[in-house]
Amino acid sequence: MTILVTGATGTIGSRLLDLLSDEGVRPRALVRDPDRAAGVVRDRADLVQGDLAEPASVRAALAGVDRVFLVSANGPDQVHHEQAVIDAASAVGLDRLVKVSASGAHPEASNAFWRAHSEVEAYLAATGVPSVLLRPTFLMSNLLAASTPIRERGLLLAPAGHARIAMIDPGDVALIAARALQDSDFEPGVLELTGPAAVTHHEVAAALTAATGRHVSYVDVTPQDAVAGLVSAGVPEAGAREVVRVYDSLRRGDQSVPTHSVASVTGRAATPLAEFVAAHASAFTERVAG
């Protein structure tokens, strides 16, 4: 079986490569710049050059492939990029496509990210390609983007209010993806993936305090200040506004109910927040070189 992994240098894709490699599977990794990606992918996959914005390169990358893992960055071109992979998968008659979507994906969702996932899901369904849709909640790794004020000032900044969010470790998403890609008995369908418990950002700050040994306080910033902070960090303003709209949905209770999908597939409970934060404590305490 040949598995193509998109997003192989990303948060979930890189963890998936580890899992497949540990199980003796050598996937094919679709990357835009093989030389640059080699240091991240290392010897865990065969690199194939391609760009989701160039359908011809995607079709070439899928030659001889049986199954595909599809994940791509949120952005204005996400739907077209993922549709290019789905079109190529449909043309070659893939056994299975595993797509990372999002909890809350719906055509009338309040933010463009979840609407885009919903559009891709509908497009995929129309092709008839056998598929598994993974809908994770807020990824715990998103907290790493807030590491600078945590490290420098002991402040966790977010427009989350008192929202309870069943955050999930991206490693658990990768673990489910690895099972779905390899197990021929894995049923096509939709899996709503969450962490084991819904937590507030005040509880996140407490977990960070315990893991780093220095006090971290949560500050509920206004949506306007959140947009400004994201823009100053290099996020395009349109994308920053969509991130804040996601938080609006979280404050309304979206992604607040844990599921047992991780445990039902893997036989173990989903990774708790404290364990994730402890494993990444250095990211919140050590200044990044450069």
pLDDT bucket at 288, cuts 50 / 70 / 90: low
2-20 pLDDT, tens digit each: 999 999 999 999 999 999 9
Beta partners for residue 69, in sequence order: 5, 98
271-286 pLDDT, tens digit each: 999 999 999 999 999 7
**Does residue 239 contact residue 75 with C-beta atoms inside 8 Å?**
yes
CA distances to 111, 257, 284 from 269, in Å: 30, 15, 25
Tokens representing 171 are 């490693």
Phi-psi map region of 160: left, alpha, beta (phi>0 left; psi -120 to 50 alpha): alpha
What is the Cα gyration radius of the chain? 19
What proportion of the chain, given as a percentage, has pLDDT over 90?
A: 96
Mean pLDDT value across residues 243-251: 98
User: What CATH class has 3-137+169-193+257-266?
Assistant: alpha beta
**Does residue 103 contact residue 167 with C-beta atoms inside 8 Å?**
no
Domain ranges of the chain: 3-137+169-193+257-266
**Does residue 135 contact residue 144 with C-beta atoms inside 8 Å?**
no
**Dist CA 132 CA 6 (whole Å):** 15
- What pLDDT does residue 246 have? 98
113-164 pLDDT, tens digit each: 999 999 999 999 999 999 999 999 999 999 999 999 999 999 999 999 999 9
Dihedral, 289, 49, 59, 113 alpha carbons, nearest 10: 10
With tokens 């598994």, the residue in question is 132
Residue 160's Cβ-count burial label (10 Å; 0-12, 13-18, 19+) is buried
Beta partners for residue 70, in sequence order: 99
**Dist CA 211 CA 148 (whole Å):** 16
pLDDT at 289 over 70: no
Buried b (16+ CB within 10 A) or exposed e, 8-43: bbbbbbbbbbebbbeeebebbbbbeeeeebeeebee
DSSP 8-state assignment for residue 255: T
**Dist CA 257 CA 167 (whole Å):** 10
- What pLDDT does residue 290 have? 47
**Does residue 262 contact residue 172 with C-beta atoms inside 8 Å?**
yes
pLDDT at 188 over 80: yes
pLDDT bucket at 100, cuts 50 / 70 / 90: very high
Beta partners for residue 219, in sequence order: 157
CA distances to 63, 274, 285 from 277, in Å: 40, 5, 12
**Dist CA 63 CA 233 (whole Å):** 39
| pTM confidence score | 0.96
Beta partners for residue 96, in sequence order: 67
With tokens 């609407």, the residue in question is 115
Q: Is 169 helix (H, G, I), strand (E, B) or coil?
A: coil
